[in-house]
Amino acid sequence: METPIYILGIESSCDDTSASVICNAQILSNVVANQEVHAKYGGVVPELASRAHQQNIVPVVQQALAQANIGKEQLAAIAFTKGPGLMGSLLVGTSFAKSLALGLNIPLLDVNHMQAHILAHFIKSDDNKMPPFPFICLTISGGHTQIVKVTNYFEMEVLGETIDDAVGEAFDKSAKIIGLPYPGGPLIDKYAQLGNPKAYPFTKPKVGDLDFSFSGLKTGILYFIQKQQRINPNFIKENLNDICASIQFTIVEILMDKLKNAVKKTNIKHIAIAGGVSANSEIRKRLQLAEKHLGWTTYIPKFEYTTDNAAMIAISGYLKYLNKDYSDVSVTAKARLKVTE
Ligand code: KG4
Ligand code: ZN
């Protein structure tokens, strides 16, 4: 039997405090504390996020250890998110991870949040298939939209990315226009289930083959809604499902177009998605169809590993641990960090 290597992962880059225990690529616990405090402000308030992380981090880590049924003295290493993210939020996880690693006298592993979203595909479970190298990963979150060629665990190349808003922002800002609370992405997904995706055609942006742009779409949606409301003040209420379905359809069409371009350019047909927006039901459905119609093999993460979570930090830490790629205690959080760094 394999010797068990237990690693604690800590994620605190934005507004979720999370801790996870992994044992040799298998997740034993993945505790996420969402910060409700931001909803009333319509977006994440950085100062409030840091404070909430400080409140949550100790109980979240304790819960992760308890659920995994291990004591902290059994840990082989501590992995944490170094960046990218909100500086005040990152500092909480970084300082906590350092102190704990020093106190337990075990290695510290710094993890790139963007790489971690992708590496979540290497979490072992009974029912998941792992992508073979090289594969293409569409990373879609609240802060990033990238097409990445993944040649090895820590060898990645950005083939294209957004020149303005991230796709999660496109969902959240569109949701705000139609009066839905933050984060609106999951709500658009929910209402879209009952709507007609072809009800309102929105214009797709024109940018480079593998790049994205969402700010024009957002403006297009705003003008369309304002115009319709002048004609019928109840337009949103009466047509919410169709509006949501049309917005979601347009965004997913854009994503699929770009993935097709990436396949054409690289001839790689192993396609993964990662990040918060990969929870979206329409992109999941369209990828499953692409298996049938385009001959792709697609890799869709488990729902709990899509939005920010520490399990993805734990698996990345485990892969680094196997390479003995430990961090120095002088390591610092980085608000800006490329997926290739
Ligand atoms: O990866 P993530 O949790 O945080 C960042 O690193 O940004 O992504 C959060 C984003 C938010 O914009 C949220 O609205 C979006 O993911 N999201 C969704 C869905 N679930 C989460 N967007 C569309 N459909 C969903 N089902
Ligand atoms: Zn993220």
Residue spans per domain, the chain: 6-122+305-322, 135-301
Provide mean pLDDT across the span 161-177. 97
Nearest CA to ligand 1 atom 2: 276
Judge whether 6-122+305-322 and 135-301 match in fold: yes
Q: Exposed, middle or buried, 101 (CB in 10 Å: 0-12/13-18/19+)?
A: buried
Are 83 and 115 contacting, i.e. CB atoms less than 8 angstroms apart? no
pLDDT tens-digit readout, 308-321: 999 999 999 999 99
Q: Which residue has tokens 């369309």?
A: 224
> Lowest-confidence range among 50-59, 237-246, 264-273, 317-326?
50-59
Residue with CA at minimum distance from ligand 1 atom 3: 307
Looking at the CA of residue 183, tell me the nearest atom of ligand 1. 14
**How many whole angstroms from 172 Cα to the centroid of ligand 1?**
8
CATH top-level class of 135-301 = alpha beta
Name which residue leads in pLDDT, 240 or 127. 240
Ligand 1 binding pocket (C-beta < 6 A) is 14, 141-143, 168, 171-172, 183, 185-186, 189, 275-277, 279-280, 307-308
Reference 57, options 112, 22, 19; nearest CA is 19
What is the C-alpha to C-alpha distance for residues 339 and 290, in angstroms, rounded to an integer?
26
How many whole angstroms separate alpha carbon 319 and alpha carbon 109? 10
- Which stretches of the chain are assigned E, i.e. beta strand? 6-11, 16-23, 26-34, 75-83, 108-112, 135-140, 145-152, 155-161, 270-274, 297-299
pLDDT category, 51, cuts 50, 70, 90? very high
What residue owns the CA closest to ligand 1's atom 10? Answer: 142
pLDDT tier for residue 251 given thresholds of 50, 70 and 90? very high
Given a cut of 90, whether residue 141 has pLDDT beyond it is: yes
Which DSSP helix (H) or strand (E) runs through 248?
helix 235-266
Pocket test for ligand 1, best of 115, 190, 277 (most atoms within 8 A of CB): 277
CATH class of the domain comprising 6-122+305-322: alpha beta
Report the nearest atom of ligand 1 relative to the CA of 172.
14
Residue type, 288: Q
The answer to whether residue 118 scores a pLDDT higher than 90 is: yes
Centroid of ligand 2 to alpha carbon of 147 (angstroms)? 15
What's the pLDDT at 35? 76
Task: Output the pLDDT for position 34.
Answer: 83
Beta bridge partners of 148: 137, 158
pLDDT computed for residue 47 by the predictor: 82
Which pLDDT does position 222 carry in this prediction?
A: 97
State the pTM of this model: 0.94
Q: Is 267 helix (H, G, I), strand (E, B) or coil?
A: coil
Which residue owns the Cα nearest ligand 1 atom 19? Answer: 186
Query: How far, in Å, from the CA of 71 to the mean position of ligand 1?
Result: 33
- Least confident segment among 1-5, 151-155, 221-225: 1-5
Distance CA 304, CA 20 (A): 12
Nearest to 169 by CA among 151, 193, 143: 143
Atom of ligand 1 nearest to the CA of 167: 12
My answer on whether omega of the bond before 183 falls inside 30° of 0, hence cis, is yes
pLDDT of residue 48: 86
Q: CB under 8 Å to 12, separation ≥6 — which residues?
A: 18, 53, 57, 80, 81, 85, 89, 90, 92, 93
Q: Reply yes or no on whether the pLDDT at 136 is more than 80.
A: yes
